[in-house]
Amino acid sequence: MRRIAIVALIFALFCSLAPVTSSISVRAQGSDPYASIGLAHAADVRVAASPSGVLIEWRTSFELDNLGFNIYRDDNGAQILVNPSIIAGSVLRQGTPLDSGYEYQWFDAGGTGYSRYYLEEIRLNERNILLGPFTSIWSVNLPKIRQAKLITEVAAPANVSAEAEGPAGVFDRAAPTPANIQDQWAIAAQPGLKIGIKQNGWYRVTQSEMAAAGFDVSGDVRNLRLFVDAREVPIEGSRSSGQLGAADFIEFYGVGLDTPTTDTHVYYLINGSQPGLRIPVFGELHTEAGSPTAAPPAAIMPVRSSSNENRHANLIRKRNHAIASPNSAGGFLYEVQRKERFLYFSSLLNGAAENFFGDVIAAPITKTLNVNGLQTGSQATAQLRIGLQGASNQTHAVNILLNDVMIGSLTFEPLAYSEQTFNIAPSQLREGGNDIKFVKTSVGDLVLFSYARLTFPRIYRVENDTLSFTLRSTQSATIDGFTTTNLRVLDISDPNAPQEVHTIVSTGGSGYAITVPSSGAKSKVARTLLAQPAESFLHPASISFNQPSALNQSNNAADLLIISHRNFMSLPNLAALVSQRQSQGFTVRILDIEDVFDEFSYGSHTPQALIDFLSRARSTWTKAPSYLLLLGDASYDPRNYSGAGNSDLVPTKLIDIGGPGTSSALETASDDALADFDSDGIPEIAIGRLPVRTAAEANLVLSKIVNFSPANVPQTAVMVADTQGSYYWNFEASNEQLINLLPANMQSNAQRVYRRLEPSDSATRADIINKFNQGTALVNYSGHGNVDVWTGAPIFNNSDAMALTNGNHLPLVVVMDCLNGYFVAPNLDCIGESLLKAPNGGSVASFVSSGLTIPDGQHAMGQRLFQLLYGSQPIMLGDATRQAKLATTDLDVRRTWILLGDPTLKIR
C-alpha cells in the first residue's frame, strides 16, 4: 500500500482547466498567479460499479507533459494503488491524431459500489495533481472496456529507437565548417540537383533519376561538380567524358546530418564551367577546386568509356604491388550507440537543444546494445557513456547495470541533463546482446533516457561484407570475412575528400580478406577507412531539382512577402490574393521556403535560415519588406519523431518562456521571433501565418481572406468571459473595459456571454455558438483556456469551431487566455487554427497565444489593440497587433501572441 500526498492547487488560475466533476476537493496555494498553471487536468471523470468490479473513465483536454496517471481506491480510509505501474499519458501517445483531447479507461476488479477513487495526474517538471474523491454509480452492464496501457507496456517506436555504429569518435565528430555563404549563393543561383543524405555511406545517383528530377543530363560529365556546405566534394562516374547515357551514374561518399530540426544533409550537383573534383587514389592530390560561380559550360568532348569494371581492374593491378607493413594492427576501438527520440518534454527550458527524449525511467528499464567482433583478451579499456534527462523537481539518482553487474550511478541536479562515461573491462562484455539496466533510487523521481554508447575493442572482421574502421598511419591491417573479391576501400578520414586505397586481396579464414597497407606517413591521428563491395551503394533519401534563386541580392523589393511551402505556390486563391494586394498598391513577392533554405542554411531545414534571410532583406533590399505572410503549418516536431507526419512546412522559432521548473515553463512557438532582430519581443516586420497542411486547407483559408468584406459582417461584438472564482483577475471587468473602447454603434450592440450569468456550461456553449453563427465583426474571449478549449468545462472547443455555420460573416477573434494559438502540436489543431479552417464559417483571422502567461500584460496589450483597431483610421491587422505589443512590458506576452491571418488585412 502506498501513501498519498494530497497536492494543493488552484483550479481557477487563468490558464488552468477546472474539472467539471463537482466532488473534486481543492486547496488554495496563495496569491501567486503562476502557482499552478495547469494544462491537462482530467475532466468528466465517471465511475461505474458492477457485480464484477468498477470501471473508471476520464477525459482530458489537450495535454502537455502529462506522463500519466495513478488510480487510488479508498476503502474505509485505506488508500490502495490500483494500477501496477503508471498509466501512460499523452507524452507517450503523441503520434495519435486528435479531434479533442484524450480518453482513458481502467477496470478495478477489486472495487465495489462502496469504493471511492482518487485520480493522480503525473506531470513532467511539476508536482503531481490529485483529483477526487469520486463515488460510483451502479451499472449492471458496463460498456466495452478498453484498458489503458501502462507505461511499461508502451515501447519506443521502432523508427526512433535504433542502433548506429562506427569507429570510435564517429558520434562526436564535429560537423564540417561550411564555406563562405557567398559561395552557397552562387550555387543556389544555378539550376542543379539537390540530393538529400540521411546517413554516412557510399551513394549512387543514376542518369534516369537526374533526368526525372529535371536536371540537364546533356552536359559533359567532366564538368559535373558536387557541393555540400558550399564545399566541393569529389565524385566517381561510370564514364569520364561525354554525355551521361541511360545506364550511367555518379557515385560519391555522403555524410548525414543530425540537428534538432533536420536529419538530411543536402548535396548540390551542378553542370559547371570547368572539370569537377574526382576521387583520387590514396597519395594522389586533388586538383584545386574552382569557384562554383556559374559560367558557360565547356564544349562536350566525344564519349570515352571508363567503366567501374575497367577502373577496378586498374586498381587490382596496383594493389598487387601494394606492400603490407610488418607492423600489423590486431584490433581497433569501435562504438555502438542506441539513441531514442519520441517523448516531447515541452516544459524543459534548454535553449536551442531539442526537447525530445526516449523511455521514462519510472520503473527499471533495459536497453540492449549489440556487440559484433569483440576482441577478447584486449588490454584496451572499454567505455559505456550514458545520457539522461531529469524530468522532476528533485535530485536524480539512477543506478547503471551492465549485464546484471553494477558499474556505477548517475546523480545530478533537478531537471538537468547529465552525461557520464564509465570505464569497463572488455571481459564484462559479451559477443551479441549486452543489456544495460537503469534503476532509479528515489521514490517519485522521473528521468528520461537519451542515449547509451558502448566503445569496445573490435577485431578486423566484416559484418555483412562492410566495415568502417580506424588504422594508425604506420600500421597495416588484414580484414577478413568478405564474400567477394570485388571490393572498394576508401580513406574517409576527411569525409569531404575521400580517397581510394590500394589493398591486397587474398583468401581468408572465412571467405576473402584484404590487407590495407600503412600510409607511409607518420601521424598521431588515425586514419578512418571504409571497406565494402564495389557494387554496394546507398540510395539518397531525396532527389529534387534546385530552382535558381537570388534572394540575397539587394535589387529585390517587396512590401509584402509571402513565404510558402512549394505545394501551395500555384493555388488560384493565392494568385487572387496577390492580385488583390497589388491593386491596393503593395509590391508583393511569393517565395519558396526551399529557396530560403538553399541560400541561407546550405539547404538544411531550419528556422535560422528564415531569421538570417529576413534580416538581410530588411537591411539590404531596395524596398525592405514591412509585412510577412507565412503560408504553411509549423511543428515542434520537425523530424517527425512522434510519427504524426511532416507538418513543419514553414518553420517557426521555438523559444523558452517562464522559469525553469515552474508551472509557466514551456517551449513554444514565436513567429515574431523570426523578425525580432533586437530581441525586445517586437518584430521589425509585421507577421501573420496561415497554418495549413494541405492544398485544400490553403485554398479555403485564402478564399476567406480574398472574399472578406467588412460590409458583409454585422458590426457587432460578442464578448465572452470566464468566471473569476477565487482567481485574482476579473474577466468580466476586463471585457467591460474593452467594450468601452469600441465605436458607439458596436458598444450599444455588444453581446455579452458571461459564464457566471449563464444557467449552465452547456447553455454558455450553446450561446457562444449561436452568436458566432448569427454573424459578428468581433469575438473576444477572456478567461482560462488550453490548446483546444475555453475553460475546462469546456464552454467552447475546436470541434465547435470547425462546425460553425456563419458563412462569410467572418469575425476577427481575439483571445486573452493561454495556448489557443499553440499551432505547433503535430496531432491537434488549436482553436485559432480550427476557426480559420472551418469549412462553413469560423473566422477570417485570430490573435491568440502560444504560451502560458497571466492577464496583466495580456489586458494591457488587448486595450491597445482595441484602440488601434477602432481608432479614427482603419489599420492593417499586422500593424495593429505589432503596435499593441508595445503596450506591455511582459516579454512572454509579446513573443507568444500569434496572428493567424493576413497581416495586410483590414477589418473595417
Q: pLDDT tens digits for 421-443?
A: 999 999 999 999 999 999 999 98
296 pLDDT tier (thresholds 50, 70, 90): very low
Determine the length of the chain. 908
The whole-number average pLDDT for the span 383-394 is: 95
For residue 533, list its beta bridge partners: 487
Residue 469 host element (H or E): strand 467-471
Q: Which domains does the chain have, with CATH numbers?
A: 43-153 (2.60.40.10), 181-298 (no CATH), 332-458 (2.60.120.1200), 711-900 (3.40.50.1460)
For residue 29, the SS3 value is: coil
What does the pLDDT read at residue 768? 98
Q: Are the C-beta atoms of residues 813 and 888 closer than 8 Å to each other?
A: no
The whole-number average pLDDT for the span 159-179 is: 77
Using left for φ > 0, alpha for ψ between -120 and 50, and beta otherwise, residue 906 falls in beta
pTM for the model = 0.89
Using left for φ > 0, alpha for ψ between -120 and 50, and beta otherwise, residue 872 falls in alpha
What does the pLDDT read at residue 871? 93
User: Of residues 389 and 179, which shows the higher confidence score?
Assistant: 389
Cis amide leading into 133 (omega within 30): yes
**Residue whose cell numbers read 477489486:** 110
Question: Residue 394: is its pLDDT beyond 80?
Answer: yes
Cα–Cα distances (Å) from 1 to 4, 122, 238, in that order, read 10, 18, 72
Distance CA 782, CA 780 (A): 7
Q: Which three cell numbers stand for residue 533?
A: 563491395
Distance CA 643, CA 648 (A): 13
Distance CA 440, CA 412 (A): 12
100 pLDDT tier (thresholds 50, 70, 90): low
Q: Which region among 69-83, 303-317, 328-342, 668-682 has the lowest average model confidence (pLDDT)?
A: 303-317
pLDDT in tens, 541-552: 999 999 999 999
Buried-state track 124-143, b at ≥16 Cβ within 10 A, e below 16? bbbbbbbbbbbebeebeebe
Cα–Cα distances (Å) from 161 to 154, 260, 343, 357, in that order, read 13, 16, 11, 10
Rg of the chain over Cα atoms, rounded to whole angstroms, equals 31
Closest CA to 267 of 250, 287, 245, 290: 250
Residue 689 host element (H or E): strand 686-690
What does the pLDDT read at residue 555? 98
Greatest distance between any 2 Cα atoms in the chain: 98
What does the pLDDT read at residue 735? 98
Q: Are the C-beta atoms of residues 100 and 866 closer than 8 Å to each other?
A: no
Question: Residue 103: is its pLDDT beyond 80?
Answer: yes
Mean confidence (pLDDT) of the chain: 88
96 pLDDT tier (thresholds 50, 70, 90): low
Distance CA 677, CA 681 (A): 9
Question: Residue 407: is its pLDDT beyond 80?
Answer: yes
Buried-state track 698-718, b at ≥16 Cβ within 10 A, e below 16? bbbbbbbbbebeeeebeebbb
What is the DSSP secondary-structure string of 797-833? EHHHHHT---TT-PPEEEEESSSTT-TT-TT---HHH
Question: Residue 539: is its pLDDT beyond 90?
Answer: yes
What does the pLDDT read at residue 627? 99
Q: Which region among 251-265, 372-386, 507-521, 828-842 has the lowest average model confidence (pLDDT)?
A: 507-521
Question: Residue 297: is its pLDDT beyond 70?
Answer: no
Question: Residue 575: is its pLDDT beyond 50?
Answer: yes
List Cβ neighbours of 619 (8 Å cut-off, separation of 6 or more): none
Distance CA 226, CA 211 (A): 16
Q: Are the C-beta atoms of residues 519 and 473 closer than 8 Å to each other?
A: yes
Question: Residue 664: is its pLDDT beyond 90?
Answer: no
pLDDT in tens, 802-822: 999 999 999 999 999 999 999
pLDDT in tens, 275-292: 999 999 875 544 455 667
